[in-house]
Amino acid sequence: MVEAILKTEKLTKRFGGLVAVDNVDLELFKGEVHAILGPNGAGKSTLVNLLSGDLPSTEGSVVFEDQELTGLPPYVISHYGVGRSFQKTNIFPKLTCFENVWLAAQSRQKTSMRFFRPARSMKAVESLTLSSLERCGLLHQKDSAASSMSYGEQRQLEIGMMLATQPRLLLMDEPMAGMGKEESEMLVSLIKDLAKEYTLLLIEHDMDAVFAVADRLTVMVNGRVLETGTPDQIRSSQQVQEAYLGNEGGF
């Protein structure tokens, strides 16, 4: 019996007259890698922003592990165990790799409203920082300024920061966007490694990567869910072929 970790019901986001996300019912199973496919403008990123609280939804609800997330701000959702990485690299460029991840790890303390003790004396934060850096493969780079690292490494750092917030569900918005072939392969293996421990919601354009890592796929078109299923089901779906894959010459 599979257990749902996240469930949306009739989730809708309107920007004026434009319906970016339209009545989306989505169910993520615990432990799965769930990829969302769809052409540009299908509402994939907006959906992630609704789940992470970066955007308020117009209608509908989001429930994560029996906890209602609808209408909560991002910092609360982060504490409930939902981590996210961004499509456009979103780091602290002037700080070192270590400092970037440190700040994320420090957020797991009860409070950071502490004024007297030096932050660096907190051993628990330090070990969480180091283990997150190791997990995302940047331990050897920890003292480099984030802005001086390669694009691929900055994407890894993005993931490292997310891991340091000790999430159970990872929302990854195009983690491979703009990466070269070698970097993509590295990231696919990182995602496969993360999949052993976390539930993942993945938005990705790279078809090879998606079919290599995803357990289930949801195809979105014009803000609506067209179909959800295993990679095989999606591949053979007439509807998907017509609406999306067919036009792009998919496989």
Partner 1 sequence: MYNTPRSITLFLGFLFILLLCYPLYGDLIFGSKSSFYMQKLTTIIIFAILAMSLDLLVGVSGLVSMGHALFFGFAGYVLALISPEYDAANIWIVLPAVLASCAVIGLVVAFLTIKTSGIYFIMVTLAFGQMAFYFFNDSDFAGGSDGMYIMMKPAVMLGDIQLLNLESKQTIFYTSLACMALVYLILRMLLRSPFGQVLVGIHANEHRVKAIGYNTNHYKIVSFVIAATLAGLAGFLAATQYGFVNPSQLGWHTSGYALMMVIMGGAGTIFGPALGAFVFEILHSFFESFTDHWLMLMGTVMIAVVLFLPNGIGGALLEFVRKLEKKPVQAQDGEKSDG
Residues that bind partner 1 (CB under 8 A): 52, 54, 73-75, 78-79, 84, 86, 89-95, 99, 102-104, 106-109, 112-120, 122, 145-151, 154, 161-162, 164-165
Of 169 and 240, the one with the shorter C-beta distance to partner 1 is: 169
Query: 117 or 196, CB closer to partner 1?
Result: 117
Q: Which is nearer to partner 1, 122 or 214 (CB)?
A: 122
How many CB atoms sit inside 10 A of residue 68's CB?
A: 11
Tell me whether residue 32 or residue 99 sits nearer to partner 1 (CB atom): 99
Please count the residues of the chain: 251
Rounded Cα gap, residues 22 and 245, in angstroms: 21
Q: How far is the CB of 46 from partner 1 (least distance, A)?
A: 16
In this structure, how many other beta carbons lie within 10 angstroms of the beta carbon of residue 19? 16
Least CB distance to partner 1 at residue 230 (A): 31
Q: Considering only CA atoms, which of 33, 30, 78, 26 is closest in space to residue 47?
A: 26
CB of 234 to partner 1, least distance (A): 30
Nearest to 220 by CA among 25, 36, 34, 61: 36
For the bound state, the minimum distance from the C-beta of residue 173 to partner 1, rounded and expressed in Å, comes to: 11
CA-to-CA distance for 120 and 132, rounded, in angstroms? Answer: 16
| Amino acid residing at 21 | V
